[in-house]
């Protein structure tokens, strides 16, 4: 899913932009529309607002009720400059139909309306679908302008040949079919070097990763085999999609990413305190850490000597269940995902029981009876157990599995994001 900014300029074929939006949204993309004044003569804002589910902008000084957010995004807290925010967030900018006048402005770098200012401010791939009368299209000025745009890397979707808008006219200049325009946009997205869906922009994601260590004495501890790989992969993916990510890392010795904030913790109690402190500000909690369920009741301050001992009995006590406690006091709009390590058969029903008991939105289960996946392995294979069903995620690199889990989180949050956008 990508965020497509669609610029609609004046022309009879502006109505085809409606069909383009329908195709794009059906393919899972989020679309925002900027119209030129002239295009309003052909199709009104209400039509585009209706099909995109988001406000349409025309003027440069017009406030954007959605504050630059695309459908499915949470709106930012501040009031950004509308066209700058839209181009910052979009993954591609398509101008369809692009009139001869708009093409001339784009080629010349003019910025005298919102559509062209946005184009000048955008670093996203630009796709231009010309539509005009055949003589205007064939005019050397238009040809030269299109050649200039193509040289700069703009994708031009060539117009078709057929009946033109004016009665009885036939020739080249018809807007390409909406499916062709969408194809060009998707092509541009797939080849854009730095393309990453900014679908979590403005979202605060809290991830716990690694495994806690509970001291027995000053050197020994009760620990577990969690490496933190899955948690860090989730954090990386959320950050790649634009989220503001904090990781509570319990004994993780893996490389860190610059864009992510890490808080180091060691014991279950430290993890619990840090998670409680950070949770209030989080929209999503991904509780991937393996938290000790038991800890030594009375850890020794010094090292326990082995002299004069035949054995050692360490009494353990229960730790608190951080996830269940936080789920019980969550605010509306917060999403909580648990992670369960289960052995073999019956993993999914057991996870479903945990989901209900801990009141989670979903629980990601991995089968720790398999040596090729899970603890400290590069790969994983999980099942995402939600309230409405189970999604099996086939074996893949932890980064791929993380992307599928984040997709599932986005799907779970779609109604929340829409509610925020409507209330913006």
E strands, 289-377, in order: 294-296, 316-318, 335-342, 362-367
Closer Cβ to ligand CTP, 134 or 293, answer by number: 293
Q: How far apart are the first and last CA of the chain?
A: 22
CA 51 to chain centre: 22
Q: Are 126 and 93 in contact (CB under 8 A)?
A: yes
Give the separation between CA 267 and CA 358, rounded to whole angstroms. Answer: 21
Our CB check for ligand CTP shows the closer of 135 and 352 to be 352
Mode of pairing for the β-strands spanning 294-296 and 362-367: unpaired
Which residue lies nearer to ligand CTP by CB, 51 or 285?
Answer: 285
CB nearer ligand CTP, residue 177 or residue 321: 321
* Residue nearer to ligand CTP on the CB measure, 115 or 355: 355
* 224 belongs to the catalytic site: yes
What distances in angstroms separate CA 319 from CA 272, 294, 342, 358, 365, one per listed residue?
A: 9, 5, 19, 15, 21
Q: Of 233 and 322, which CB lies nearer to ligand CTP in the complex structure? A: 322
Q: How far is the CB of 191 from ligand CTP (least distance, A)?
A: 38
Q: How far is the CB of 28 from ligand CTP (least distance, A)?
A: 29
Residues that bind ligand CTP (CB under 6 A): 268, 287, 289, 291, 293, 319, 321-323, 338-341, 354
Nearer to ligand CTP, 90 or 291 (CB): 291
Other Cβ atoms less than 10 A from the Cβ of 422: the count is 13
Residue 8 CB contacts under 8 Å (≥ 6 apart), including other chains = 14, 17, 33, 34, 35, 36, 39, 43, 48, 95, 96, 97, 115
| Residue 332 phi, psi dihedral angles, 5° rounding | -60, 140
Q: How far is the CB of 323 from ligand CTP (least distance, A)?
A: 3
Decide: 326 and 289 in contact? Cβ < 8 Å. Answer: no
CB of 389: closest distance to ligand CTP in angstroms?
20
Shortest gap between Cβ of 332 and ligand CTP (angstroms)?
A: 21
Helices then strands, each counted (H, E), the chain:
13, 19
Shortest separation between residue 230's beta carbon and ligand CTP, angstroms: 11
Cβ count within 10 A of residue 258: 5
Whole-angstrom distance, CA of residue 267 vs CA of residue 274: 11
User: Residue 423 burial (CB < 10 Å; 0-12/13-18/19+)?
Assistant: exposed
As a whole number of angstroms, the distance between CA 78 and CA 80 comes to 6
Which entry of 101, 145, 224, 251 is annotated as an active-site residue? 224
Closest CB 3 distance from ligand CTP, rounded Å? 31
Catalytic residues: 224
């Amino acid at each position: 899913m990508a965020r497509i900014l669609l610029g609609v300029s004046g022309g009879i074929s502006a109505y085809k932009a409606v069909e383009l939006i329908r195709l794009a949204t059906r393919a899972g993309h989020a679309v925002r529309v900027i119209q030129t004044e002239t295009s309003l003569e052909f199709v009104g804002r209400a039509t585009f607002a209706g099909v995109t589910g988001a406000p349409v902008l025309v003027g440069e000084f017009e406030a954007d009720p959605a504050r630059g957010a695309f459908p499915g995004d949470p709106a930012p807290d501040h009031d950004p400059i509308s066209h700058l925010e839209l181009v910052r967030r979009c993954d591609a900018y398509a101008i369809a139909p692009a009139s001869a006048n708009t093409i001339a402005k784009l080629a010349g770098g003019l910025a005298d309306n919102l559509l062209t200012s946005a184009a000048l401010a955008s670093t996203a791939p630009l796709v231009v679908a010309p539509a005009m009368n055949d003589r205007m299209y064939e005019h050397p000025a238009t040809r030269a302008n299109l050649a200039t745009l193509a040289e700069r890397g703009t994708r031009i979707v060539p117009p078709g040949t057929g009946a033109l808008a004016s009665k009885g006219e036939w020739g080249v200049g018809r807007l390409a079919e909406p499916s062709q325009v969408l194809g060009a946009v998707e092509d541009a997205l797939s080849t854009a070097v730095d393309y990453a869906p900014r679908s979590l922009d403005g979202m605060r994601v809290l991830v716990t990763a690694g495994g806690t260590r509970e001291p027995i004495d000053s050197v020994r501890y009760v620990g577990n085999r969690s490496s933190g790989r899955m948690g860090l992969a989730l954090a990386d993916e959320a950050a790649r999609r634009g989220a503001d990510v904090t990781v509570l890392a319990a004994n993780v010795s893996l490389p860190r990413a610059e864009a992510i904030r890490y808080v180091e913790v060691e014991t279950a109690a430290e993890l619990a305190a840090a998670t409680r402190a950070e949770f209030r500000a989080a929209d999503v909690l991904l509780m991937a850490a393996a938290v000790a369920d038991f800890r030594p009741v009375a850890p020794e301050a010094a090292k326990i000597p082995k002299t004069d001992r035949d054995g050692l009995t360490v009494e353990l006590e229960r730790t608190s269940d951080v996830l269940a406690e936080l789920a019980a006091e969550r605010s509306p709009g917060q999403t909580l995902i648990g992670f369960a390590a289960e052995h073999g058969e019956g993993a999914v029903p057991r996870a479903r029981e945990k989901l209900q008991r801990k009141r989670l939105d979903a629980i990601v289960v991995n089968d720790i009876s398999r040596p090729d996946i899970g603890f400290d392995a590069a790969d994983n294979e999980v099942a995402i157990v939600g309230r409405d069903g189970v999604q099996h995620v086939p074996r893949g690199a932890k980064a791929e599995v993380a992307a599928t889990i984040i997709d599932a989180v986005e799907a779970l949050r779609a109604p929340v994001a829409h509610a925020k956008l409507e209330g913006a």
